[in-house]
Amino acid sequence: MSNLNLLFPQWQGSGRTRDLYYGALKIEEVHLSDVKLEEIEICDNDSLVIENDILGYKEILEQLKEVTKLINDIKPDTIFTVGGGCDVELAPVSYLNKKYDGNLTVIWFDAHGDLNTPSSSPSKKFHGMPLRTLLGDGNQNIVRQCFSHINPEQLILIGTRDLDIPEKEYIKENNIITFPVELIQKDTILDSIEHMGFDNVYIHIDLDVLDPNIFPSVTCPTPNGINFEKLNDILIHIKNNYNIVGLSLLEYAPEKGDNIDNLKSIVNLGINL
């Protein structure tokens, strides 16, 4: 089994700020200095424009081409991705979904749905659209650049608590399994994964799933999240029962004096896939 550790500090999806770029570099410095990584080079032009209802469309499409080429050359069995924003998920998730023939549950730890289309997005920031893109909707140049698309039946949203109205409608129409914070319970989550019937699991971690009182250094801090103990407990529980083929660690926007020691267990899970 070969694991790819991917450093993809794409910041363009979060707007005209490079915080997420520096966040990725800090995670690398603190936790990955002795780990073999592949890094995607990121455009540093900060005069982003909105094209096709997506801010930074050109850069995002270009970087997507880079990362799909890299993954296609390496052909890993598993991928650990350090972002960057949630929008870095397109290549890893669509690749693994293709590799495992759709035999994949995608678990999305995130305060948000990331389910907007370019036209429904209020902000036009692409980090609010990656999951919907992975489901095959949105800008078709970007969709076509992905390795495959996933189906709503493969998806579990955990910790979701800030959804736009079109996202709520999409979740309802497609019966997407959602665990709001108050319903998060590791055995119930395991039951859901079991019920879906897939053998492999992809885990998306947007750090804004955590409560801002515990971890405020994210692009979109959202009140009433979970704590590290709960997150790690669920991750261990999933690892003990399923084949985790991909994991991501996303949306870290560093602040002076931050201590990110408590990301260690997530990183360890990722590099040991």
Supply the minimum distance, in Å, between the C-beta of residue 125 and Mn ion. Answer: 10
C-beta closer to Mn ion: residue 6 or 115: 115
C-beta closer to Mn ion: residue 31 or 112: 112
Supply the minimum distance, in Å, between the C-beta of residue 243 and Mn ion. Answer: 24
Contact between 228 and 267 (Cβ < 8 Å): no
CB atoms within 10 A of CB 168: 14
Which residues have C-beta within 8 Å of that of residue 61, sequence separation ≥ 6?
141, 142, 145
Supply the minimum distance, in Å, between the C-beta of residue 263 and Mn ion. Answer: 16
Supply the minimum distance, in Å, between the C-beta of residue 164 and Mn ion. Answer: 12
C-beta closer to Mn ion: residue 108 or 242: 108
Residue reference for tokens 């936790």: 31
Binding region for Mn ion (CB under 5 A): 86, 110, 112, 114, 206
Residue 91 CA to residue 71 CA, distance in Å, equals 8
Supply the minimum distance, in Å, between the C-beta of residue 207 and Mn ion. Answer: 9
Residue 236 CA to residue 259 CA, distance in Å, equals 23
C-beta closer to Mn ion: residue 190 or 214: 214
Residue 230 CA to residue 210 CA, distance in Å, equals 9
Residue reference for tokens 């455009």: 43
By CB atoms closer than 10 A (0-12, 13-18, 19+), residue 30 is middle
The encoded tokens of residue 14 equal 């979060």
C-beta closer to Mn ion: residue 99 or 112: 112
Supply the minimum distance, in Å, between the C-beta of residue 219 and Mn ion. Answer: 8
Contact between 171 and 157 (Cβ < 8 Å): yes
3-state secondary structure of 181: helix
The CA-CA-CA angle for residues 57, 115, 46, to 5°, reads 25
C-beta closer to Mn ion: residue 114 or 137: 114
3-state secondary structure of 204: strand
Supply the minimum distance, in Å, between the C-beta of residue 206 and Mn ion. Answer: 4
Residue 81 gets which letter from DSSP?
E
C-beta closer to Mn ion: residue 100 or 108: 108
Supply the minimum distance, in Å, between the C-beta of residue 107 and Mn ion. Answer: 13
C-beta closer to Mn ion: residue 88 or 189: 88
Residue reference for tokens 């999240």: 225
Residue reference for tokens 């040991």: 272
